[in-house]
């Protein structure tokens, strides 16, 4: 079977990203993608091996986009200002791109090396932000895990309307972040 004229991998990826971001990660299936493109499902296999490959490509796009947003948010900032900027950029990404955010957490069973490398870039960015704090290697791991858990917790609870009290969520985020930073041992290197 020859590929459909005009259909290419980038078009598949672009449509998949739209599906994921508007209808959710679980909505992305070969048959639904084909329906959106008004083609027969077998035509998709001229451009990808399987659904896992497509989902990994969407996850890679999402995690790359998240990394760029986080990196840009901390440029020219340091210490707590950088941590706060990164945190709110993370939350903004998850709110603006809920499907892609979930994709960053849910690649297929065999995510590619590029996905792992980009994930490590995010971790390294957070490690760099925490370098000025006097943390041992183990404390640094705990601090990174704590920050990621804190942010993901807010994202997850907000998504299911888990905050019923009428106080702005970002105020709660800032309160918790200030306490998080306050509990880090500060030893700024000039």
List, in order, residues 6 or more apart from 36 with CB less than 8 Å away: 15, 18, 19
pTM for the structure as a whole: 0.88
Rg (CA), the chain: 19
Residue ranges and CATH numbers for the domains of the chain are 1-48 (1.10.10.60), 55-182 (1.10.357.10)
Rounded to the nearest 10 degrees, how much is the dihedral formed by the CA atoms of 166, 170, 122, 110?
10
**36/77 Cα distance (integer angstroms):** 43
SS (H, E, C) 136-170: CHHHHHHHHHHHHHHHHHHHHHHHCCCCCCCCCHH
pLDDT tens per residue across all 190 residues of the chain: 444 456 899 999 999 999 999 999 899 999 999 999 999 999 999 999 999 999 999 999 999 999 999 999 999 998 999 999 999 999 999 999 999 999 998 766 667 788 889 999 999 999 999 999 989 999 999 999 999 999 999 999 999 889 989 899 999 999 999 999 998 865 555 4
């Amino acid at each position: 079977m020859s590929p459909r004229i005009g259909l290419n991998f980038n078009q598949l990826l672009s449509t998949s990203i739209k599906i994921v971001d508007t209808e959710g990660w679980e909505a992305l299936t070969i048959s639904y993608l084909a329906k959106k493109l008004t083609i027969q499902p077998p035509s998709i296999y001229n451009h990808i091996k399987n659904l896992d490959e497509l989902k990994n490509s969407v996850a890679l796009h999402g995690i790359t986009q998240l990394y760029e947003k986080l990196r840009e948010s901390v440029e020219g900032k340091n210490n707590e200002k950088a941590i706060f900027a990164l945190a709110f950029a993370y939350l903004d990404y998850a709110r603006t791109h809920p499907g892609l955010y979930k994709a960053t957490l849910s690649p297929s069973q065999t995510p590619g090396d590029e996905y792992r490398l980009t994930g490590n870039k995010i971790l390294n960015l957070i490690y760099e932000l925490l370098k000025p704090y006097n943390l041992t290697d183990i404390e640094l791991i705990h601090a990174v895990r704590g920050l990621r858990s804190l942010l993901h917790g807010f994202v997850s609870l907000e998504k299911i309307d888990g905050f019923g009290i009428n106080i702005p969520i970002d105020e709660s985020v800032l309160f918790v972040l200030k306490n998080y930073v306050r509990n880090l041992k500060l030893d700024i290197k000039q």
